Amino acid sequence: MRSGHSWGSRPTAGAPFERLGLPTSVPLLLGFVFVCVAEVIVGVMLLLGVPHAATVSYLLLPFEFAYWIGFALPFGPPLGVARTILLLLA
C-alpha cells in the first residue's frame, strides 16, 4: 500500500508561496532553516540573560512571520504573538 507522500510530492501545494509562483525550493527552505536556527540561538541568549536578546527576537519576527504565512504553518502566528507578549511582560 502506498503512503500519502512520495519524494516527488509537494506538501506545500496550495500554500501562499505556491500561489504566488514561488516553488518550494532549496534556497527558500534554507532560509527557513536559517531563521529557525537563529531563533534557537536567540532562545538560548534569552535563557542566559544576554542583553538585547529580546530586541533580536523582535527583529526576527517579521522574517518568521513571512515563512509562517508563506508555508501556511498554522501554529506560528499564535505562538509568535504569545512569545512577544511574554517578552514584553518579562
Q: Which three cell numbers stand for residue 19?
A: 500561489
Taking residues 2-7, what's their average pLDDT?
48
Q: Is 9 domain-assigned?
A: no
- Is position 42 within any domain? no
- Report how many domains make up the chain: 1
pLDDT digits over 21-66, tens only?
A: 666 677 888 888 999 999 999 999 999 999 999 999 999 999 998 8
Is position 79 within any domain? Answer: yes
Residue 82 lies in a domain: yes
Long-range contacts of residues 58-66, Cβ cutoff 8 Å, at least 24 apart: 58/84, 58/87, 60/35, 63/35, 64/35, 64/39
pLDDT of residue 27: 80
pTM over 0.85: no
Q: Is residue 16 part of a domain?
A: no
Residue 75 counted as domain residue: yes
Residue 17, pLDDT above cutoff 80: no
Whether 71 maps to a domain, the answer reads yes
The three-class DSSP label of residue 48 is helix
Q: Which three cell numbers stand for residue 50?
A: 544576554
Q: Which domain holds residue 60?
A: 51-90
H/E segment holding residue 36: helix 26-48
pLDDT at 10 over 90: no
Does any domain span residue 61? yes
